[in-house]
Amino acid sequence: MLPKKRITMHNHAAEASLFKRRALFTFVSVLLLIGVLIGNLYHLQVTDYNDYTTRSNDNRIRVIPIAPSRGLIYDRDGKMLAENQPFYSLEVVPERVKDMPTMLDELNKIIPLSADEREDFLEALKFHRRFKPLTLKSRLTEQQVAEFSVNQFKFDGVSVEAGLDRFYPQGMLLTHVLGYVARINNRDRASLEKAGVWSNYAATNNIGKQGIEKFYEELLHGKPGHMEEEVNNLGRHIRTLKVEAPEPGQDIYLTIDLALQKKAMELLAGRRGAIVAIDPRDGGILAMVSSPSYDPNQFVHGITSKDYRELLNSPNHPLINRATQGQYAPASTIKPIMALMGLDDKVVSEKTRVWDPGFWQIPGVDRKYRDWKRWGHGWVDVYSAIVNSCDIYFYELAYKSGIDRISAFMGQFGFGQNTGIDIFEESAGNMPSRDWKKLKYNQPWYIGDTISIGIGQGYWTTTPLQLASAVTMLANKGQHFTPHLLKSIKDATSKIDTPIDQQPPLILNNQHNWDVIAEAMRQTAIHSRFKDAPYTAAMKTGTAQVFSVAEDEKYDADTIDEKLRDNALIVAYAPFEQPKIVIAMVLENAGWGGANAGPLARELLDSYMLRDQWELKDAEQ
């Protein structure tokens, strides 16, 4: 018997309803997707049209920054101190060279390539786009450029390219004034980014590192330009669209007198020391020499580690600017200012006389403070005390005045503080006080400390620039100008003198005291190196101990290490009636100030004061 078949009953109405719902859902989904597509198209073509057009152009147009030429630096008379010189480098476009090793071998016959240069080039080649030029050798000599030019046809893809680099024609003469430029490092970049000016250095490799180059970096650097070029999808150049020229840095003129600077360097002759010369009429620095020095040009091209270590580890410390960073005991050079304080406070007068038997004692104390002249000077007043540099007079004066008054008065002359000169490399020196010693050594101030301060020794240190600035106030009878190196600025249209920073004058209780001290310094000059000078001058020498000698011992330069011998100092100005130049000089470990620094100061002032007469004689001959 056959099985019965199952009979399935279809609900056509339900199936039709399900189909309609599915069709409607599909239709609505398609409409929504079409709406999304249309919305995206509208967003791309209308709303963000400008944005995507710009992005497209960025892919098609490449902007290449163009470095500005750095501003030049001149002395006060327009003589070149820092310039830009062309340099030549050998560039290779790798894709145009069929056989690189063979090409390098052939090129080596014309322009010698060191093993390091060759190795560095091949290593850089691995990460370099083959259609872009790559430097093979930099700093070609003119002869190498000429020899390659003759044979260039043999080297497809190799060319000589020119650029500009900083050059200091005076070599080591002005290193501590000008400073130098060198490669931008990570610290420089971080500083520029923080200041928001990194974009200005997109095409620049160097930046001012010290001195004028660093202080006036913003003026000297200029503003970069740019070139717009069209490129294909591989980044290859198609055509140049636009060029905007860079704005060169501004040229600057310094107050430096190049002839005087050369003379000062010549006088130091490589010995450790410093000379500062200031024009007291405006505070302009006429000369500022620190010796020994070094050639800044070696930093421009990247100094080798060996050469830098030699400079850094040299026992003569050529990297330090002794004129603004060297800290020395001022010794007797500050006795005129000490005497001025005593006169103005009425601790002493013009007629006050002090007995000098060769030593001085604090009342009730056995220790004897010796005069430099063992048998003493006898009776001395303010004039003879300065002329003969009598220590006893100033021991007595310091004892009666006290450290509080000395510190406050000397602060008015700039001791213990920066002068404000327009370079960053400056030390404030040390003008000691009770609070300073307590903070420094956690010790009280003793009367004996004050006695040493009275003759410019002890804890007191100053820089040659501070000393010159203080003597400028003496020469000007209280008028004071901030020492500065910048004289004027020149751009494409004009040359503008920078304003002079005149400080409020120092007003004494009795203005006549200025004349007393000036006369004492004039007499010092007459009785010393300037007695036969054809111009009037004022001066004071100093001999600063580098280490202390016991009370009953005698200083003997022949028996101690050269680095422990006394420093020789001198300050002077001329002409006496209307000063045009003030100088301060320190010779490290040279010995007696009058005997060693005095002749050099006379020669330096002669070269400045008698220049017109000498030039006239040279012209007549």
Active site (annotated) includes residue 199:
no
Instruction: Give residue-wise pLDDT tens across range 194-207.
Output: 988 888 887 787 89
Please state the rounded mean pLDDT for residues 502-511: 93
pLDDT at residue 178, rounded to an integer? 97
pLDDT > 90: percent of the chain: 56
Please give the Cα distance from 202 to 64 (Å, whole number): 9
Please state the rounded mean pLDDT for residues 247-263: 95
Mean pLDDT lowest among 31-40, 421-430, 559-568: 559-568
Please give the Cα distance from 167 to 327 (Å, whole number): 31
Q: Cis omega before residue 444 (within 30°)?
A: no
pLDDT at residue 355, rounded to an integer? 95
Please state the rounded mean pLDDT for residues 99-120: 85
Residue 377 is labelled as binding a ligand: yes
pLDDT at residue 130, rounded to an integer? 76
Query: What pairing do the DSSP bridges indicate for beta strands 225-231 and 237-244?
Result: antiparallel
Q: Are 225 and 374 part of one and the same domain?
A: no
What one-character DSSP code corresponds to residue 458?
A: T
Q: Are 465 and 383 part of one and the same domain?
A: yes
Neighbour-count burial for 514-548, b at 16+ CB within 10 Å, e otherwise:
bebbbbbbbbbbbebbbeebeebbbbbbbbbbeee
Q: Are 352 and 457 part of one and the same domain?
A: yes
Q: Are 137 and 283 part of one and the same domain?
A: no
Most confident of 162-166, 231-235, 601-605: 601-605
Q: Give a yes or no: residue 47 inside a domain.
A: no
Q: Are 232 and 358 part of one and the same domain?
A: no
pLDDT at residue 555, rounded to an integer? 47
Residue 404 is labelled as binding a ligand: no
pLDDT > 70: percent of the chain: 89
Neighbour-count burial for 115-153, b at 16+ CB within 10 Å, e otherwise:
eebbeebeeeeeeeeeeebeebbbebeeebeeebeeeee
Q: Give a yes or no: residue 452 inside a domain.
A: yes
Instruction: Give residue-wise pLDDT tens across range 513-562.
Output: 999 999 999 999 999 889 899 999 999 999 988 755 444 555 455 556 66
Q: Give a yes or no: residue 556 inside a domain.
A: yes
Residue 435 is labelled as binding a ligand: no
Mean pLDDT lowest among 53-57, 279-283, 509-513, 590-594: 53-57
Instruction: Give residue-wise pLDDT tens across range 10-33.
Output: 676 777 777 777 888 888 888 888
Q: What angle do CA 260, 264, 269 make, to 5 degrees?
A: 145
Please give the Cα distance from 484 to 179 (Å, whole number): 15
- 609 half-sphere exposure, CB direction, 13 A CA radius: 23
Q: Of 254, 284, 316, which residue is a domain's last?
A: 254
Q: Give a yes or no: residue 38 inside a domain.
A: no
**Residue 7: pLDDT over 80:** no
Q: Are 509 and 547 part of one and the same domain?
A: yes
Mean pLDDT of the chain: 87
Q: Give a yes or no: residue 157 inside a domain.
A: yes
The residue type at 321: N
Return the higher-pLDDT residue of 467 and 559. 467
Q: Of 203, 224, 254, which residue is a domain's last?
A: 254
Question: Burial level of 227, CB count in 10 A (0-12/13-18/19+)?
Answer: middle
Please state the rounded mean pLDDT for residues 350-359: 94
Q: Are 121 and 177 part of one and the same domain?
A: yes
Strand pairing partners for 539?
A: 572
Neighbour-count burial for 164-188, b at 16+ CB within 10 Å, e otherwise:
ebbebebebbbbbbbbbbbebeeeb
Q: Are 357 and 241 part of one and the same domain?
A: no
Residue 366 is labelled as binding a ligand: no
Return the higher-pLDDT residue of 613 and 445. 445
Q: Are 336 and 376 part of one and the same domain?
A: yes
Q: How far apart are the first and last CA of the chain?
A: 155
Pick from 209, 244, 208: nearest CA to 225: 244
**Residue 51: pLDDT over 60:** no
Number of independent structural domains in the chain: 2
pLDDT at residue 5, rounded to an integer? 56
pLDDT at residue 128, rounded to an integer? 73
pLDDT at residue 62, rounded to an integer? 64
Total residues found in the chain within this entry: 621
Question: Which pair of structure tokens corresponds to residue 279?
Answer: 């024009």
pLDDT at residue 305, rounded to an integer? 80
Q: Of 220, 254, 288, which residue is a domain's last?
A: 254
Question: What is the domain extent for residue 204?
Answer: 64-254
Please state the rounded mean pLDDT for residues 112-135: 79
Instruction: Give residue-wise pLDDT tens across range 289-304.
Output: 999 999 999 998 778 7
Q: Give a yes or no: residue 313 inside a domain.
A: no
**Residue 139: pLDDT over 90:** no
Return the higher-pLDDT residue of 619 and 215. 215
Please give the Cα distance from 107 to 118 (Å, whole number): 11
Whether the Cβ atoms of residue 103 and residue 282 lie closer than 8 Å to each other: no
Could you tell me the CATH number of the domain that includes residue 276? Answer: 3.40.710.10
pLDDT at residue 550, rounded to an integer? 47
**Residue 438: pLDDT over 50:** yes
pLDDT at residue 557, rounded to an integer? 55
Query: What is the pLDDT confidence band of residue 141, given thresholds at 50, 70 and 90?
Result: confident
Q: Give a yes or no: residue 51 inside a domain.
A: no
What one-character DSSP code corresponds to residue 152?
A: G
Q: Are 230 and 136 part of one and the same domain?
A: yes
Q: What angle do CA 363, 365, 369 make, to 5 degrees?
A: 90
Catalytic position from the list 290, 332, 384, 389 = 332
**Residue 507: pLDDT over 90:** yes
pLDDT at residue 450, rounded to an integer? 96
What one-character DSSP code corresponds to residue 542?
A: E
**Residue 183: pLDDT over 90:** no
Whether the Cβ atoms of residue 350 and residue 343 lie closer than 8 Å to each other: yes
Query: What is the pLDDT confidence band of residue 602, given thresholds at 50, 70 and 90?
Result: very high
User: What are the residues whose beta carbons fall under 8 Å from the beta carbon of 383, sequence distance 6 or more?
Assistant: 350, 516, 519, 520, 523
Q: Give a yes or no: residue 309 inside a domain.
A: no
The residue type at 13: A
Please state the rounded mean pLDDT for residues 359-382: 92
Q: Are 227 and 277 part of one and the same domain?
A: no
pLDDT at residue 50, rounded to an integer? 62
Residue whose structure tokens are 């000599």: 141
pTM for this predicted structure: 0.82
Q: Are 376 and 520 part of one and the same domain?
A: yes
**Residue 576: pLDDT over 50:** yes
